Structure 1
């Protein structure tokens, strides 16, 4: 059995008795000599065959489960659901760095496994009908379902999956190279036997990560340049296919009536709507008006002010529109104003801390958000992985190895986000911020903050939606009291993606999502290597050997308690680095819809499973033909 190791003061100590302790025990007499025996071959431990993978114990559903527990397996099929998308699109290839892909393309493809949104870190057989885990855990075998077919009728094979993996790692977004970095080899050992071999036995979640891989058709892409954005309708094997689209304006997906996987337990009671249509709008305000006019059927509301004030319109008052707050148990990660640490302006930790002191969440929550949000205080918020208080014994065993390379306060002081009196004046926080800036070499001259070269402290907050202007402008106003010029600039979706992919920004709003089992994706979020690679998710530009080491510890966590301790240790180092000005999070999904849908009696714990909703024909017919003039 692999022994667990603890890291302390830079040394690796194997668990068990020390040499001193063993010296205090009287030596036992030597055993009697045993008669010689013939050499025996080592026992071969067969691989474990399973229908599901889980990081947190055994999966809750047996191999013969009929359907997800929350869905309605008898849900009717038919009807249409129209949703809004923001911005534009010029590509149907969502896997590459170039282009702006259309929303919804994931529905075209099947993944090897299907995650259960009702269980943490658990995935069930889907395109693969079973998995084999070798005893040394240095690989995984996916046995593909022989019934799987592409939409053109050809079989889905292991060779397709091998081609997909190699193509995405070579030509896909940088994320794939980071996510699959511990895969040494992938081979097809037959038409339906897909074998991955790993370079380590320490990456516990790698099998689940590979289970999330969508499989693409090798024969469709032959002769095409995968790395180029394209509006050619892609071929898939999933429950939907592209029916029609107008670039930048709308795209419609049609349910595949003879979908090969419709009777799988992971599919029964889901994908009930015949037509999924996405209409593109310039910004969220226009999209909301489109919903009120009946051009859009379903809306997930992300703006607290709109949720509180914008839904009192005639159709809602007449009961034609419904809305609900659906609780969830999702980790909410970190959203905040992200400083580009590649910029010299933000490379001093004291400067970053000072900028965080000037963000008045209490005023914003009361005046902009109607008190509906909770302040985010962790990169792993709303989960047991979030750090709090002072480091625990387990965290200290990890962090002690990095003394002198992390702030001393990390060991002695509880991290707390700044709290204000709610006036957006924040005099006490402003005094602290100015002291930090002065210690970093900035002074106030003629009401402007300048450095030793008399250069002003000036930067741009890049936004991709006017929605965040109402947050960025008060923040910029608060910074102005210190002599800092913070300009806000809102650009379209395509320009925003290009600039963030190339790290051409000073500050922006970033969302770093988290799951209950963090692992490989942390490399893409925080590693030094990814900070230099265009298109990675390390927008903030963290480039710190300590963070790199902690990320690798998270990836290699041998058990749940080790994962918790290591995530909390990483969290503390990131928080005390002040790379982001933390925003807020909500613990409910706020949804509104025109009353034409049925939905399960309960929602799964860790997701909004809109695929399990369906259209009720009688309700759909009862809605006015022209909902924009509904009485």
Structure 2
């Protein structure tokens, strides 16, 4: 659970499986396979027994409990209204599974036992497993797959429906266990087979009998085909999922060593302070930590010292999430790059890291940080040739200047005078001089005001970071308003893009895919929830389009390196910090494979419960 979602273009695996090939009547080569990757290379052969990174003998049983902050009012994770409960999509499966956390861009058959397509990838046929069924015992067939595909088009996110209809004009059921998808001529074959292969499958019978809609907020859940089902829901307090004892897919190779807990419990808290105290008291048992102050200073309590709670850092092989202060480019004042540059100079990463974050982070520069896809220096070789081939959409300076790097500040004090002087000159040049009252106004007398929207569930170190950032902006003469709202209001206002700035993130990428257009492209920029800045750049569009047409991994990597360079040039986010490990703390009754796979921490997936250790903790009074 978790990890990246775009097709990988980085890793080549040794010992790749050979795909079965045939020839159709028209003479085109056919591929029939137990899995899918765009270039046809799969690490695991058709007769694989389990993934390499799991423990196939992991015991089944026990409970793991985790935390969620804020509130929820729905158990339908696909609604565009309300706030869905944590893990509420975990009950639903797709034709292809995403469990190979040791390789990138490879998917293996889950509901589908095999996938069939021509070399042209003009269409695909999925062959479903005939023993697949929903948790209510009804069979899962190709009719349910088609129903789910159409339901998402009609009642899912408008941006999703608009994009998919252009690329997938037709889908048809061939028989109860075969479904065929056709793809639009003349477009990239990226993210087509894996797109339809990843659609969650719902029960057509349940939706038709109940009259429910996908876009409505509701607590009732439709039956899923996955290993877990809802046991109980206590709104805004707790959700419990239990293992389905009749799970149809328990013996599949893709599931060996996985889904090991009998129950997964989610405990809700209004803020992280209360949540941390609850963890110490044993109200939940597994915690991923994101607050550097807590990590550095608060994990020294009796249960830690007694060894009853494990505090550890585990390696994270995924690229750093592009997190930062995001500008709403729809705001007229922020369309002036000089204003954005000046605001950025008010953020002192070095002081923040040393004074508030205990020196635990590095500064992020790239959207593909510390990977071979990170742009460095000025473009040269294949990347330079690629950028030149795009013509006038690429600014001349991008062809000769080094990739944008964050500014450097002095760590000794919050206000770096050199940076603030530079920022104030930029604001003067942009037409926002300082008045007699110390406030900046334009020629019409309007104040330069910035509203920063902040989610109160993030109170703690992040609040202190933002407050100090706002203080520096205020010292420049900018009227900086920090507006703190509760999680439900935050969700609504973020969807409506009702803010000037917000602390948010984009998804990192190791490969190309049409999901890049949803995040960084112009077409959906006005409303895409994946593009909080509203970035709309012809240059970025052209690079993504070119990456989708790449015919080799080398061409793809070149285009994505250029994409990283272009995203940094457009400057719609002030990058903040990152780390290359997971901070986790858990009661010492959970175990995991060694080594962990690079692309997923997997604590809800392939970790397991040690019943003997759990009894010792209970006997010692460490657990309730």
TM-score (norm 2): 0.91
TM alignment of 1:10-21, pairs within 5 A = none
In structure 2, C-alpha distance between the alignment counterparts of 1:102 and 1:398, rounded to whole Å:
45
TM alignment of 1:174-573, pairs within 5 A = 174=158, 176-177=160-161, 180=164, 181-199=166-184, 200=186, 202-222=188-208, 223-401=211-389, 405-414=393-402, 415-422=404-411, 423-446=413-436, 447-464=438-455, 465-467=458-460, 468-533=462-527, 536-573=529-566
Deviation readout 1:356-376 (Å, 9 max, x if unpaired): 222111111111222221211
**Are the equivalent residues in 1 in contact too, given 2:390–2:542 (CA < 8 A)?**
no
**Are the equivalent residues in 1 in contact too, given 2:190–2:514 (CA < 8 A)?**
no
Deviation readout 1:117-158 (Å, 9 max, x if unpaired): 110111111111111121221122211111100111111111
**Candidates 103, 124, 129, aligned match of 2:108:** 124
**Are the equivalent residues in 1 in contact too, given 2:68–2:267 (CA < 8 A)?**
yes
TM alignment of 1:128-139, pairs within 5 A = 128-139=112-123
Cα deviation, residue 171, structure 1:
1.2
Q: Secondary structure at the match of 1:452?
A: coil
**Are the equivalent residues in 2 in contact too, given 1:340–1:540 (CA < 8 A)?**
yes
**Are the equivalent residues in 1 in contact too, given 2:311–2:586 (CA < 8 A)?**
yes
In structure 1, C-alpha distance between the alignment counterparts of 2:123 and 2:578, rounded to whole Å:
37
Matched residue pairs, number?
589
Q: Secondary structure at the match of 1:299?
A: strand
Unpaired segments ≥5 residues, structure 2: 1-23
Corresponding residue of 2:574: 581
Cα deviation, residue 402, structure 1:
5.3
In structure 2, C-alpha distance between the alignment counterparts of 1:541 and 1:336, rounded to whole Å:
15
**Are the equivalent residues in 2 in contact too, given 1:137–1:201 (CA < 8 A)?**
no
In structure 2, C-alpha distance between the alignment counterparts of 1:178 and 1:80, rounded to whole Å:
41
Q: 1:178 to 1:513 in 2, by over 3 A?
A: farther
Corresponding residue of 1:50: 33
Q: Is it true that 1:143 corresponds to 2:127 in the alignment? A: yes
**Are the equivalent residues in 2 in contact too, given 1:160–1:217 (CA < 8 A)?**
yes
In structure 2, C-alpha distance between the alignment counterparts of 1:265 and 1:368, rounded to whole Å:
46
Q: Is it true that 1:72 corresponds to 2:55 in the alignment? A: yes
Q: 1:586 to 1:350 in 2, by over 3 A?
A: same
Unpaired segments ≥5 residues, structure 1: 1-40
In structure 2, C-alpha distance between the alignment counterparts of 1:128 and 1:613, rounded to whole Å:
25
Cα deviation, residue 573, structure 1:
2.2
Q: Secondary structure at the match of 1:326?
A: strand
Corresponding residue of 1:15: none
Q: Which moves more between the two structures, 93-102 or 390-399?
A: 390-399
Q: 1:56 to 1:378 in 2, by over 3 A?
A: farther
TM-score (norm 1): 0.90
Q: 1:221 to 1:455 in 2, by over 3 A?
A: same
**Candidates 609, 614, 630, aligned match of 2:608:** 614
In structure 1, C-alpha distance between the alignment counterparts of 2:420 and 2:46, rounded to whole Å:
59
Q: Which moves more between the two structures, 44-53 or 296-305?
A: 44-53
Q: Which moves more between the two structures, 488-497 or 397-406?
A: 397-406
Deviation readout 1:268-315 (Å, 9 max, x if unpaired): 111111111101111222211111110011001111111111110001
Q: 1:629 to 1:204 in 2, by over 3 A?
A: closer
Q: Is it true that 1:168 corresponds to 2:142 in the alignment? A: no
**Are the equivalent residues in 2 in contact too, given 1:333–1:378 (CA < 8 A)?**
no
Cα deviation, residue 598, structure 1:
2.2
Deviation readout 1:208-242 (Å, 9 max, x if unpaired): 23322211111111122222111112210000000
Q: 1:519 to 1:511 in 2, by over 3 A?
A: same
**Are the equivalent residues in 2 in contact too, given 1:80–1:276 (CA < 8 A)?**
yes
**Are the equivalent residues in 2 in contact too, given 1:179–1:521 (CA < 8 A)?**
no
Cα deviation, residue 401, structure 1:
4.9
Q: Which moves more between the two structures, 184-193 or 313-322?
A: 184-193
**Are the equivalent residues in 1 in contact too, given 2:387–2:562 (CA < 8 A)?**
yes
**Are the equivalent residues in 2 in contact too, given 1:334–1:378 (CA < 8 A)?**
yes
**Are the equivalent residues in 1 in contact too, given 2:519–2:530 (CA < 8 A)?**
yes
**Candidates 67, 77, 81, aligned match of 1:84:** 67
